[in-house]
């Protein structure tokens, strides 16, 4: 379709876009959206005026190049799919949604500069950011000071700190969710001496305290080791875990690092059971190792990324898959990555509908804390569980433990 270049895969990894683009319409579906009256001259936080017909502008501040690009591409596709769903169903209170993409190049400092330049020129209604937790952490102070609604897929403390960053909401569950899950699993299996392998980064640091507490609460010993985010060989920290007599290991990674961990485990002959945190299952890593190297390694995958029969799928998941198909998206990661951005954009639009306007950040925040799931259904669980105290999503499970070598077929682990 002319003017619809973003549908092509190469557009997801191309040069940063510097103009707002109107999202194309699909045929208006049967879903009826209640249109709330918006005052034509309602003042925004800066004393300006908001038109009830101007488009809602989403700024996708994502890494479409650099080390974080493997996550940035599907996150961007999820944002655009959500915009398509909203526009196909009449928009938000009659207003269409436009998405502008700026490429952070996987650089937190650049992310802040791009945001500041954008706000100075034309303040967006909503920002989706945080290809990596480091980018979200760098952006938090600036976005909060500007009172711009922000949604993200991150687990860093800044993403869910409702007191410090009241306008940031995360589509990811807090680290405590996974840590408690694995602590109970290890306790049930009789492991007493456990290991945790995390990256030496903001997101890695966010895992340490919750895991340490969860395992300690159940009387289990936990040794924590770290690896460099750009490391290809994790033999050194894995050797330390092995030599400490570790009975089983939880490892956390985003992107290809999980594959390198599995290869390094095989390289040093560390045959203890390994369990990938749900973050590991957000990357398409099965091609980085052999089935033999992955023997004894399982990943904790969210149900949204696991193949289901048509009858088993939530309506929101069906809609996401159908919309990505309409956009001719080629899956590069499990469906969860696309769903993280898709769900939070739709929740934000639901909140704007509830408030009746987009220039009231405090009203939007309050609406988000009421966990709006209508009229647009999320692809994962039918709830978010955001509260006034925590802006992390609740537990968007259920989970499925799958062999690490399980193949991905169109974004879903093929277990059927």
**How many beta carbons lie within 10 A of that of residue 272, not counting itself?**
18
Confidence check: pLDDT of 330 > 90:
yes
Measure the CA–CA gap between 402 and 413, rounded to whole angstroms.
8
> Which of 106, 156, 151 lies closest to 124 in space, CA to CA?
151
pLDDT at 50: 52
Q: To which residue do tokens 């479409």 refer?
A: 64
**What total of structural domains would you count in the chain?**
2
Confidence check: pLDDT of 11 > 70:
no
409 strand-pairing partners: 412
Higher per-residue pLDDT: 52 or 280: 280
Residue 266 lies in a domain: yes
Residues 293, 197 share a domain: yes
Residue 387 lies in a domain: no
Q: Which of 134-143, 202-211, 316-325 has the lowest mean pLDDT?
A: 202-211
Confidence check: pLDDT of 249 > 90:
yes
**How many beta carbons lie within 10 A of that of residue 356, not counting itself?**
18
Confidence check: pLDDT of 14 > 60:
no
Q: Which of 72-81, 172-181, 367-376 has the lowest mean pLDDT?
A: 172-181
pLDDT at 156: 84
Residues 160, 19 share a domain: yes
pTM for the structure as a whole? 0.79
Residues 217, 110 share a domain: no
Most confident stretch, 43-57, 283-297, 355-369: 355-369
**Mean pLDDT across the chain:** 86
Higher per-residue pLDDT: 80 or 253: 80
Residues 363, 262 share a domain: no
DSSP H or E run through 132 = none
Measure the CA–CA gap between 341 and 128, rounded to whole angstroms.
8
Residue 204 lies in a domain: yes
CATH of residue 256's domain is 3.40.50.2300
Residues of the domain holding 118: 5-174+312-369
Residues 342, 236 share a domain: no
Residues 116, 11 share a domain: yes
Residues 157, 197 share a domain: no
Summarised one tens digit per residue, pLDDT across range 177-225 is 889 999 999 999 999 999 999 999 877 888 899 999 999 999 999 999 9
3-state helix, strand, coil in the chain (%, to 5): 40, 20, 45
Residues 136, 58 share a domain: yes
Report DSSP letters for 256-301, one per residue.
THHHHHHHHHHHTT--S-EEE-TTGGGS--GGGS-TTTTTTEEEEE
Residues 79, 199 share a domain: no
């Amino acid at each position: 379709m002319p003017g619809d270049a973003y549908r092509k895969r190469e557009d997801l990894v191309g040069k940063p876009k510097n103009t707002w683009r109107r999202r194309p319409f699909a045929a208006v579906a049967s879903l009826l959206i209640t249109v709330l009256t918006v005052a034509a001259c309602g003042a925004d936080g800066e004393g300006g005026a908001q038109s009830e017909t101007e488009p809602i502008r989403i700024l996708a501040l994502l890494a479409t190049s650099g080390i974080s690009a493997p996550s940035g591409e599907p996150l961007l596709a999820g944002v655009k799919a959500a915009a398509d769903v909203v526009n196909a169903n009449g928009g938000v209170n009659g207003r269409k949604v436009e998405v502008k993409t700026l490429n952070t190049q996987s650089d937190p400092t650049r992310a802040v500069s791009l945001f500041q330049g954008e706000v100075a020129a034309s303040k967006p209604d909503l920002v989706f950011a945080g290809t990596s937790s480091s980018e979200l952490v760098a952006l938090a102070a600036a976005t909060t000071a500007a009172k711009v609604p922000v949604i993200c897929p991150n687990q860093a403390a800044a993403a869910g700190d409702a007191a410090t960053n009241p306008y940031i909401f995360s589509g990811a569950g807090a680290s405590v969710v996974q840590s408690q899950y694995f602590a109970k699993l290890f306790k049930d299996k009789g492991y007493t001496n456990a290991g945790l392998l995390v990256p030496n980064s903001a997101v890695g640091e966010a895992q340490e305290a919750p895991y340490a507490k969860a395992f300690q609460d159940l009387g289990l010993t936990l040794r924590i080791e770290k690896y460099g985010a750009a490391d290809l060989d994790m033999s050194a920290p894995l050797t330390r875990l092995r030599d400490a007599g570790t009975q089983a290991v939880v490892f956390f990674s985003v992107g290809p690092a999980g594959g390198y961990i599995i290869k390094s485990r095989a390289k040093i002959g560390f045959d203890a059971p390994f369990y990938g945190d749900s973050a590991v299952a957000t990357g398409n890593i099965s091609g980085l190792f052999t089935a033999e190297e992955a023997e004894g390694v399982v990943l904790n995958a969210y149900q949204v990324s696991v193949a289901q029969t048509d009858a088993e799928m939530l309506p929101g998941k069906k809609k996401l898959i159908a919309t990505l198909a309409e956009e001719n998206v080629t899956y590069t990661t499990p469906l969860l990555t696309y769903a993280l951005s898709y769900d939070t954009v739709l929740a934000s639009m639901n909140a704007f509908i509830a408030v009746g306007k987009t220039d009231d950040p405090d009203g939007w925040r309050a609406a988000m804390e009421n966990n709006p799931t209508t009229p647009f259904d999320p692809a994962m669980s039918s709830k978010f569980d955001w509260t006034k105290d925590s802006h992390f999503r609740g537990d968007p499970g259920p989970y499925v433990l799958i062999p690490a070598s399980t193949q991905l077929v169109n974004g879903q682990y093929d277990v059927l």
